[in-house]
Amino acid sequence: METLGIVSYGADIPRLRITAHEIASVWGKDGATISKGLGIIEKSVPSIDQDTATISVESARAALRRCHINPQDIGAIYVGSESHPYAVKPTGTIVGEAIGATPDLMVADYEFACKAGTAAIQTCMGFVKANMIKYGLAIGADTSQAAPGDALEYSASAGGAAYIIGKKNVIASLNHTYSFTTDTPDFWRRAERKYPSHGGRFTGAPAYFKHVTTCATTLMKKAGTSPEDYDYAVFHQPNGKFPVSVAYKLGFSKEQITQGLIVPYIGNTYSGASMVGLASVLDVAKPGDKIMVTSYGSGAGSDGFDITVTDHIEQLERSNAPSIKQMVDDKQYISYGVYAKLTDLLYWE
C-alpha cells in the first residue's frame, strides 16, 4: 500500500555557539536571568562560509545519504527561509545542482517567517499526492538576523532540515495536515532592511499562542486524536518558553515535547526550528510512534501535521548522517567580538 509521507530527512546545524551569558555581558544585562527567562542557554552561529544555501545543501545531502533514492527522481525542491542569501536569485537552484536533481525539476524559494519550511512540505505533499512528481524535497533553513542589542539577539540562530516527501519507502506517514492563517503583523522585516522588527509582547497571545493553539486543536479534531494519542509533539520554538507553555495549555506533557525541543541549545533556527525538532524525534522514533508537529510563522500562520512512524524507519540508514544530538554536542564557543565579525556587524566602508 502506498502512503504519503516522509521518505528521508537530514539536518545541518553550524558548529559555532555563543552563550546568552556572553551576549548579555556586552549589553550590561544579567545573563543568568535572560537565559532562564528565554529558556535559551546558547545559540548556533553560522561560520563566515555558511549561509542558508550551504545549510540547505548539507541537510539535503544528509537526507539523501540515509536513503537510496536517485536524486534525478526528485521532481520539486522548495526552500523555505527568511534569510535566502540572495533577495533575487533562488536558493533552490543551488540545492538542485548540488544534489544532482537538475534539470527536470520544479524549484521555488519560500518565505513565511518561521514556517516557510513546513509550507514547503505541504507543497511537496500536494504534488506527490497528485502524482505530478515521484519525490519532493522540502527544506527549512535560516541564518536568522537580529539587531545588535535586540531581544532577538539571544535566540536568532542558524540551522535547517530537509525532508524528502514521497509515497515509496515512507518512514513516517503524513496522515493529516492543516493550516491556520490570519493577517497578524507581529514580526516583519521590510524589504532592503538588514534586521527585523517585532511587536514585543504582541508576538505572544494574539500571534504565536492563538495560531499554534487553534491549528493544533483543529488538526486533532480532523485527525480524531487527542494529546495522549501522541508519543511526541513538536511546536515551533522561538524560545524555550513558548513551546512548553503552549504544550501544557493544549494538554501535552513534558515527556512528549522534550525530544523535539532543541531551542535551548541552538536557539531559534526560524524556518528550520520545528523541522529540526521533528528531525530530533525521527532520530529516535520507532515504528508505530505518533508525532504531532505544529509550526508557526509570524504574519501569521501555523501548519500542523499528524504523523505516524512506519516499520520502514528501521530500514532507513539513520547513522549515515549525524543525529541532531551529535550536531548539538559538536560545538565551538565564540566571543561576541568574533560573533560581530561573522555576522557583519563590523562592516564599514
* Residues 6 or more apart whose Cβ sits within 8 Å of residue 324: 11, 13, 262, 276, 279, 280, 283
The yes or no reply on residue 48 touching another protein (CB under 8 A) is yes
Instruction: Report, in Å, the least distance between residue 53 CB and another protein.
Output: 6
Site for another protein in 130-159 (CB under 8 A): none
CB of 211 to another protein, least distance (A): 34
The smaller minimum CB distance to another protein, of residues 60 and 291, is found at: 60
Cα 242 to Cα 248: distance, rounded to the nearest angstrom: 10
Least distance (Å) between residue 67 CB and another protein: 18
What type of residue is 252? F
Exposure of 308 in the CB half-sphere (CA atoms within 13 A): 10
Site for another protein in 5-44 (CB under 8 A): 15
Nearer to another protein by Cβ, of 62 and 128: the residue is: 62
Instruction: Out of 44, 50, 271, 310, point to the residue binding another protein (CB under 8 A).
Output: 50
Q: Which is nearer to another protein, 46 or 299 (CB)?
A: 46
Cβ 222 to another protein, closest distance in Å?
39
CB-based contacts of 41, cutoff 8 Å, min separation 6: 19, 20, 35, 264, 265
Rule CB under 8 A: which of 64-103 touch another protein? 85-86, 94, 97-98, 100
Nearest CB to another protein, comparing residues 245 and 320: 320
DSSP secondary structure string, 240-261? SSHHHHHHHHHT--HHHHHTT-
- Cα–Cα nearest to 211, from 242, 173, 251, 252: 242
Query: At 226, phi and psi to the nearest 5?
Result: -135, 165
Asked if 341 interacts with another protein (CB under 8 A), we say yes
d(CA 205, CA 187): 13
Q: Is 299 exposed, middle or buried (0-12, 13-18, 19+ CB in 10 A)?
A: buried
Of 199, 131, 138, which is closest to residue 168 (Cα–Cα)?
131
What whole-number distance in Å separates Cα of residue 219 and Cα of residue 305? 7
Tell me: does residue 53 bind another protein (CB under 8 A).
yes
| CA separation for the pair 104, 113 (Å, rounded) | 29
Q: Dig out the grid coordinates for 116 from the structure.
A: 516557510
Nearer residue to another protein within complex by CB, 28 or 347: 347
Q: Which residues are catalytic?
A: 82, 114, 236
Size of the site for another protein (CB under 8 A): 20
Q: Choose which of 54, 83, 239, 308 interacts with another protein (CB under 8 A).
A: 54
* Residue from 8, 24, 38, 61 binding another protein (CB under 8 A): 61
Based on the shown chain and the rule CB under 8 A, indicate whether residue 49 belongs to the binding site for another protein: yes
Candidate ranges 23-31, 56-64, 103-111, 113-121; the one touching another protein (CB under 8 A): 56-64
Q: Does 109 bind another protein (CB under 8 A)?
A: no
Q: Give contact residues for another protein (rule: CB under 8 A).
A: 15, 47-51, 53-54, 57-58, 61, 85-86, 94, 97-98, 100, 341, 347, 349
